[in-house]
């Protein structure tokens, strides 16, 4: 099979290495030809340091590598998903399968990323969302990892499962693409908030409280928008929340730590030096939750800190002293 990965960040690179390990004819495309040439020369991606890129992996800056591709992986940062989909569209056929691996919600439209790809490709072929607790740095060195391939078209989900699965990358299928994509996007804001807790010096109790209550609000919105409740307790939901809230690989968490230590969001993102998806997702989630009438106290507070200059200390007090509630019923005590 011929597979092309569009987007040579850490994640696109790690996934292209999996496809290569699985014996597929694999291309890794970079939108920056000079960067592609440098990777060909060094067999390394500076965004995935220490991972040797096998000779079988074809690295290129030429979009014509898409000719005849059976599988196209869309792996740019979420802000570039639409322009990348535009680029792939002329090369797709009804038999192609696109796998979307970016995590986010499109700014302005608030669409899920598979919807963005569908719009730009005229829904010619199925789009699968691949998501789960998966740091590129660990997949790159072949540490056992699990993800979910979600699509309403079960054949397409199985196609992606077959393409990626091997003895260090386990893939489950799911029909709930809405839940899988939302879970992946919503948790980035929580990872950032968890980082803020770290930056403020809070420890395990506070982070467990934050993660658990965040799961409740993420699930509330996800269900309202058409996702299945169980998905949020699965790999793309709880699994990804755990991995991003507890790891220094997470740039969302790293940005949050800096904000908790007193930096402004802009200073924090500059220091992290890479795309902090949670910052952008916070705005989309705020809009989506307002429109859907779903209460999301933690995400709302993150939005107020990131976009309205609210002080993190004040936000913590506000969250802790909200109206008294029942944990499961969500009802306020009279
Ligand atoms: N890194 C991970 O472990 C991981 C895991 C799962 C999902 N993701 C998701 O994958 C997406 C990509 O993340 P990443 O970590 O690989 O990013 P990264 O920060 O490592 O790299 C971003 C890449 O995007 C490229 N890029 C910038 N503008 C572009 C454009 N206009 N068109 C095409 N490419 C462009 C950059 O050159 C760079 O190679 C994000 O949505 C992220 O949430 C990342």
Task: Determine which helix (DSSP H) or strand (DSSP E) holds 129, and give its type and residue range.
Answer: strand 127-131
Q: Is the pLDDT of residue 247 over 90?
A: no
Average pLDDT of the segment spanning 240-254: 91
- Ligand 1 within 6 A of 136 CB? yes
Measured in Å, residue 178 CA sits from the centre of ligand 1 at 21
Identify whether 66 is part of a domain. yes
Locate the ligand 1 atom nearest the alpha carbon of residue 35 and give its number.
Answer: 37
Q: Of 110, 142, 175, which closes a domain?
A: 175
Each residue's pLDDT tens digit, 103-136: 999 988 999 999 999 999 999 999 999 999 999 9
Split at pLDDT 50, 70, 90, the class of 56 is very high
Identify whether 234 is part of a domain. yes
Identify whether 40 is part of a domain. yes
158 and 243, same domain (yes or no): no
Pocket test for ligand 1, best of 5, 6, 11 (most atoms within 8 A of CB): 11
Which pLDDT score is estimated for 332?
Answer: 80
Which pLDDT score is estimated for 220?
Answer: 95
List the domain range (segments joined by +) for residue 182: 178-320
Q: Is the pLDDT of residue 328 over 90?
A: no
- Ligand 1 within 6 A of 76 CB? yes
13 and 128, same domain (yes or no): yes
Which pLDDT score is estimated for 84?
Answer: 98
- Ligand 1 within 6 A of 145 CB? no
187 and 148, same domain (yes or no): no
69 and 216, same domain (yes or no): no
pTM over cut 0.85? yes
Instruction: Write 310-318 long-range contacts (CB < 8 A, 24+).
Output: 312/196, 312/199, 312/200, 312/259, 312/260, 313/200, 316/200
169 and 50, same domain (yes or no): yes
Q: Is the pLDDT of residue 248 over 90?
A: no
Residue with tokens 């790809």: 117
Average pLDDT, rounded, for the chain? 96
237 and 162, same domain (yes or no): no
- Ligand 1 within 6 A of 115 CB? no
Number of domains within the chain: 2
Identify whether 331 is part of a domain. no
Average pLDDT of the segment spanning 3-14: 98
Each residue's pLDDT tens digit, 172-212: 999 999 999 999 999 999 999 999 999 999 999 999 999 99
DSSP state of 149: E
Which pLDDT score is estimated for 331?
Answer: 80
Active-site residue, selected from the candidate residues 187, 270, 324, 325: 187
Each residue's pLDDT tens digit, 77-108: 999 999 999 999 999 999 999 999 999 999 88
- 23 vs 152: CA distance, rounded Å: 27
Q: How many CB atoms lie within 10 A of CB 1?
A: 15
Instruction: Write 259-262 long-range contacts (CB < 8 A, 24+).
Output: 259/192, 259/195, 259/196, 259/199, 259/305, 259/306, 259/312, 260/195, 260/196, 260/197, 260/198, 260/199, 260/200, 260/312, 261/199, 261/200, 262/199
167 and 185, same domain (yes or no): no
Identify whether 292 is part of a domain. yes
* 187 a catalytic residue: yes
Which pLDDT score is estimated for 274?
Answer: 83
122 and 199, same domain (yes or no): no
Which pLDDT score is estimated for 294?
Answer: 95
149 and 68, same domain (yes or no): yes
Pocket test for ligand 1, best of 6, 7, 248 (most atoms within 8 A of CB): 7
- 201 vs 209: CA distance, rounded Å: 15
Q: Is the pLDDT of residue 330 over 80?
A: no
- Ligand 1 within 6 A of 47 CB? yes
CA-based torsion, 70, 76, 78, 84: positive or negative:
negative
Q: Is 266 helix (H, G, I), strand (E, B) or coil?
A: helix
Average pLDDT of the segment spanning 292-311: 96
Identify whether 328 is part of a domain. no
Token pair of 3, please? 């597979």
166 and 311, same domain (yes or no): no
Q: Of 114, 141, 175, which closes a domain?
A: 175
Pocket test for ligand 1, best of 75, 77, 136, 269 (most atoms within 8 A of CB): 77
Among protein residues, the one whose CA lies closest to atom 36 of ligand 1 = 9
Residue 290 belongs to domain with CATH number:
1.10.1040.10
Average pLDDT of the segment spanning 276-298: 94
141 and 194, same domain (yes or no): no
Q: Of 113, 146, 175, which closes a domain?
A: 175
- Ligand 1 within 6 A of 75 CB? yes
Residues comprising the chain, all counted: 334
169 and 199, same domain (yes or no): no
Identify whether 325 is part of a domain. no
């Amino acid at each position: 099979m011929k597979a092309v990965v569009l987007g040579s960040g850490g994640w696109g690179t790690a996934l292209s290495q999996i496809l290569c390990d699985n014996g597929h004819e694999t291309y890794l495309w970079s939108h920056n030809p000079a960067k592609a040439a440098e990777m060909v020369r060094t067999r390394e991606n500076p965004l995935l340091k220490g991972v040797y890129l096998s000779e079988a992996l074809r690295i290129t800056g030429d979009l014509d590598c898409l000719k005849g591709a059976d599988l196209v992986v869309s792996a740019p940062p979420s802000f570039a998903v639409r322009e990348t989909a535009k680029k792939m569209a002329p090369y797709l056929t009804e038999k192609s399968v696109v796998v979307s691996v970016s995590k986010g919600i499109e700014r302005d439209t608030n669409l899920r990323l598979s919807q963005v790809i569908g719009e730009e490709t005229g829904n010619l072929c199925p789009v699968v969302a691949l998501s789960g607790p998966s740091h590129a740095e660990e997949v790159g060195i072949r540490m056992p990892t699990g993800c979910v391939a979600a699509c309403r078209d079960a054949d397409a989900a199985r196609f992606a499962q077959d393409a990626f699965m091997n003895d260090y990358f386990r893939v489950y299928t799911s029909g709930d693409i809405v839940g899988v994509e939302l879970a992946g996007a919503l948790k980035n804001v929580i990872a950032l908030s968890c980082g803020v807790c770290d930056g403020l010096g809070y420890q395990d109790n506070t982070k467990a409280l934050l993660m658990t209550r965040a799961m409740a609000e993420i699930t509330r919105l996800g269900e309202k928008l058409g996702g299945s409740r169980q998905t949020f307790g699965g790999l793309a939901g709880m699994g990804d929340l755990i991995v991003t809230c507890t790891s220094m690989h997470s740039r969302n968490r790293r940005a949050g730590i800096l904000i908790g230590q007193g930096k402004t969001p802009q200073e924090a993102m500059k220091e992290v030096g890479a795309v902090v998806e949670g910052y952008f997702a916070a705005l989309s989630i705020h809009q989506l939750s307002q429109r859907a009438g779903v209460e999301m106290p933690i995400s709302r507070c993150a939005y107020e800190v990131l976009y309205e200059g609210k002080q993190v200390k004040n936000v913590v007090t506000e969250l802790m002293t909200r109206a008294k509630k029942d944990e499961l019923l969500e009802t306020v005590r009279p």
